[in-house]
Structure 1
């Protein structure tokens, strides 16, 4: 199989004079975008800053410069725990170099760490733990989910606590709120963030600053900010001419942020789940191992979409590479110890999305899959960030039709053998991925339920009304303009769900990334080197059915074993079932959902609803009937469509993370013609199928 080969030029970022009054260590020469971000943070008229600097250009320093020099207490949010862990090291490094006089205390906070605070401190609830943490640390690194729930009145003790008990404490303590890598989120998270910003705008004594770090800013976000009357500024080094791609022998005033890279596009990869891992297996010795043999001091990464693919490839590469080179894994199923050590210790790291978002690799070799243009740019951006290697090589494993669009179409976005600057190349990649659904109708259909819940709480609570003058009117006016909603319509939708005992749908709409209706508690035996305490995890049932050999375990035995090794078991309370993962499947298992009733009737409603008695049909698998029974007992938030999932993905431009599963009412039907989505995915899917005409031609879905 031949490759298309291109080269990418180096990238240089323009430096800028340090603003007057700002003291930085002599080893730092600030980049243009860092200075402009600092100035925007000091401007009292700017509420939101969006920094679009390229990957590797020091956006993290831009975020924490104020914290290191001006005593700006900062709460920074990251979409993955792995990125938060990586950034903790960065921020501690800044503190060591800047040596701020007020000696800010720094802490990373995840759901697991929060539970640990509760248990070790013998606190009554997460509420007290969050209050303690916010009072002790001037720099807090967490996730946007936790921040969202704080501002949606979670963690409170019902009517005992005033609605602002927790969010007021957080908002008064921290002055800057950072959303890192925000482009990976979709419209539900954008709507959630707008609700939070508008709430804070009308309740904080002083204006708080919000900084979004993203090489590819979300257009929905910008539009909603404008509509809500929130003053924002975009820091765009590309438009400002703050990048160059040639050395020209004189780099004074410029700093190199990316090394020159050779990029190969293998041809002939079919658009299926196995093509990438097949290519990797076939080229493990002749391409990947040979690169390390020819360049013995190399470091590399293979980033794939599927945990199962990583699990299958890991033993093969260990057999090829070790003991000369160390091979490690880093996925959603990898324990905390391995995750924290793998990036630093591995010569070759195999991972999934846990390592593609913002993690700072020192590598010169990369093989990666990509599901869309943003994902491609994100993963490719892991390479070339550090000097010290003689060659930087990447292989992009994308389907043949995308390679054809890049190199063979009349537009000639790219030509083999040519050299490109990063801006031209990025534009070509974005042009090749023609369509990815942005779910623009979601905020009006479902995001507004969050808005109404907040509005109604502000309006109906006497403490809030006394403390914040006309808060309900101010919030209501801003959020209606911002999201383009009418709160009266949202009120009707809210109480209709309540009257039909569909509060689960309301809870799904109020969540940040959706609930975990099909998550199972697992005891993972697929990694022999994991500490015993880290074998206890949560993982989604569909992924287990497709990729793993497992056996059913009873709840009491699972919980007792977890307690015996000192594990907090609260996170397993809502588990669908309890399983032992024994091995991964070499061949992906075929399975589907089965509903014994009238699917056609559910599909015809074209609305998100609650569904019980759903079952699973799978040819093999230990304990499948008991698991199916557990699914059947649950009242699941779902959306049923009378199209198969391949049609939906192709027609609607559904992103990879949106999961749609086959559904049938014929137990022996191996090619189901219906599809089903759950939780937040169900809400999203409903908003984009309104124009599809039902197969039975009974009218238009609207």
Structure 2
């Protein structure tokens, strides 16, 4: 009998699969004291040491030590390295890992400068210079890099900060040159980057390595999920692209070090954003799963990874009430991870916030896997177990996959799969992802052009106070040569033609109109600055979630600031005001948040407030002729109504956001273009929809591509 088989609700359909673990062969070659290295670690070390120029793609599996593969070489040679991680939590976690590695293997910490950089940490860095007013992020980042003079440097940051610095968004000419002075850039979890993000990361890395004035020539991309298209492009444009493939073997039929454990995988049918209902309907089963000790008698650590934050809310509350005496924690966008949470929990309820990177112990896993990438990413949280241990996992999958795997189990008598076989089965029935190859031809050349123009020609910019500044470009005597070099790279990466005068003029005019939408790494969205009464903290959070699910009270910015001051009294100036001042420029609205509304969901509709808004959003244009633009004048309606919604609309209408209007509804467009569940389109009056941020660019590509095919 499988675990828990006697505790389940009636009519719960499920079946079990035996999913094999993974091993990797270890080498006896000298590496680190007391450390037997894997082949990919030894090969990474050799390639970094011996290659003059290198674009290394390491596709070794989750849990196989990809971090130490580059870090050892960097420490041995006192290299200057910028490492890029997809989340701030991972930036901070990996900084601790670097410090531990330096201590554990006997490196002298005085010979290295190791620093994590996020927006919040840059604000703390600014406090080191109290006598210098007006210091901005670019200058601070430049100073951090200079701390590595005469010793090794490991600077850990997120891709937003790196790309914005290179694109001159921090208005510090020298920062780009400081980045070009390091030895290596490492990009972790590269498969999580979107097509826009991958295109620009590879292009900017190529441009820097191609520049004779740049010292930077080595780049390492870490990802357990291969991206064959980006590797193909790297080779096509002439880069020294080296791939280290996954050399793992099944745990049960090979020798070597165990990397991922064998799983008893319970598979259930579900639907995205509705998984919490299925768990609550069968709550006794999952309470028993969490309560049952491990075979050694110790308490098991059980992790739930769901999709919507309201799912986390529902399951966290249900399990906290049912598991008296156990430590039940939650991690999501409103409740960030902390070392204490990840160390002390018995049960952790989360969403995508914990599916990558941060290492913590997990014994049992309950997760939703409604796409191939999510399934494989989340199942990788179970790792670092003895070779004879079998871990338990429960997975909710879409009906098409459930039926496919159940049919396979019926045909074979029981379902035993290797990790490779499971990935193959997922690929047979789950969508491989939206084809956005047209984006690389339409918008990536514009983004690349903006990046080059800022560096070569310079420009004029205004700070938050409206003061005008002039950014110098390169000397005119070398601008022509630099344009020839770099425009050739745009041709190689994105275009199938030469950039003539007409094409250059088009790039110049079109890219300027799209500058704000192309500049950011993650894109823009409506956010509200809220005071969360559930934990008395000030937060920026997604406005659409608050409108649809939140028990919220919107107020004017003036009353919001006054209410904060009254709530915190004497502590306001020192503790809260600096945070409020740094966050308010990102806010489209202000609210007091009292938690969720339970099962109730509001309908939210965007509309325009003026003829000027309709002009900017190209309301009367044909769908294929519209273009994404920076637009203000949005207002929202909610059903059921929020009594204080007028206060939101007063601020929302002045907020500019990158947007694109589409004539069809979101549900129609999702079905038509097979957009998937994580492509966000919002209702707009008149049965239309609107996309924001990078989604505005992506949907524009699809509509234009469809129109071109129909002509």
TM over 0.5: yes
Q: Where do 1:595-614 residues align within 5 Å?
A: 595=608, 599=619, 601=621, 603=623, 605-614=625-634
Q: Deviations over 1:121-160 (max 9, x none)?
A: 3342222211221122511111011111111112126xxx
Contact 2:305–2:366 under 8 Å retained in 1: yes
How far did 1:458 drift? 4.6
How far did 1:656 drift? 3.8
Which residue number in structure 1 is paired with residue 595 of structure 2? 583
Change (3 A) 1:75 1:496: closer
Which residue of 223, 228, 249 corresponds with 1:214?
223
Q: Deviations over 1:392-411 (max 9, x none)?
A: 11111122223123333xx8
How far did 1:614 drift? 2.9
SS class of match (2:101): helix
Which residue of 515, 519, 522 corresponds with 1:506?
515
Which residue number in structure 1 is paired with residue 558 of structure 2? 556
Which residue number in structure 1 is paired with residue 273 of structure 2? 273
Which residue of 479, 489, 497 corresponds with 2:490?
479
Higher deviation after alignment, 596-605 or 617-626: 596-605
Counterparts of 1:180 and 1:414, CA distance in 2: 40
Q: Where do 1:287-686 residues align within 5 Å?
A: 287-295=286-294, 297-323=299-325, 325-335=326-336, 338-387=337-386, 391-408=390-407, 417-460=414-457, 463=474, 470-484=481-495, 487=499, 491-497=504-510, 503=513, 505-516=514-525, 518-526=526-534, 528=535, 532=536, 535-559=537-561, 561=564, 563-566=573-576, 567-568=578-579, 569-587=581-599, 588-595=601-608, 599=619, 601=621, 603=623, 605-619=625-639, 620-665=641-686, 673-686=687-700
Higher deviation after alignment, 626-635 or 45-54: 626-635
Contact 1:406–1:414 under 8 Å retained in 2: no
How far did 1:183 drift? 0.4
Q: Deviations over 1:180-211 (max 9, x none)?
A: 00101111101211231123113344352111
Higher deviation after alignment, 288-297 or 217-226: 288-297
Counterparts of 2:393 and 2:409, CA distance in 1: 21
Contact 2:633–2:654 under 8 Å retained in 1: yes
How far did 1:391 drift? 4.2
How far did 1:497 drift? 4.5
Q: TM-score, normalised by structure 1?
A: 0.86
How far did 1:50 drift? 0.3
RMSD: 2.8
How far did 1:457 drift? 3.9
Which residue number in structure 2 is paired with residue 696 of structure 1? none
Contact 2:446–2:507 under 8 Å retained in 1: yes
Higher deviation after alignment, 599-608 or 378-387: 599-608
Contact 1:47–1:209 under 8 Å retained in 2: yes
1:198 aligns with 2:206: yes
Q: Which runs of 5+ in 2 are unaligned?
A: 1-11, 459-472, 565-571
Contact 1:34–1:62 under 8 Å retained in 2: yes
Contact 2:208–2:214 under 8 Å retained in 1: no
Change (3 A) 1:457 1:607: closer
1:243 aligns with 2:257: no
Counterparts of 1:193 and 1:413, CA distance in 2: 46
SS class of match (2:111): coil
1:56 aligns with 2:63: yes
SS class of match (2:689): strand
Contact 1:6–1:415 under 8 Å retained in 2: no
Q: Deviations over 1:62-86 (max 9, x none)?
A: 1312123221222111111122222
Counterparts of 1:112 and 1:701, CA distance in 2: 49
Change (3 A) 1:132 1:656: farther
Which residue number in structure 1 is paired with residue 48 of structure 2? 41
Counterparts of 1:413 and 1:458, CA distance in 2: 61
Q: How many residues align?
A: 653
Counterparts of 2:584 and 2:351, CA distance in 1: 24
Q: Deviations over 1:32-61 (max 9, x none)?
A: 111111122123244210000111111111
Change (3 A) 1:288 1:89: farther
Which residue number in structure 2 is paired with residue 25 of structure 1? 33
Contact 2:372–2:431 under 8 Å retained in 1: no
How far did 1:105 drift? 2.6
SS class of match (1:121): coil
SS class of match (2:660): strand
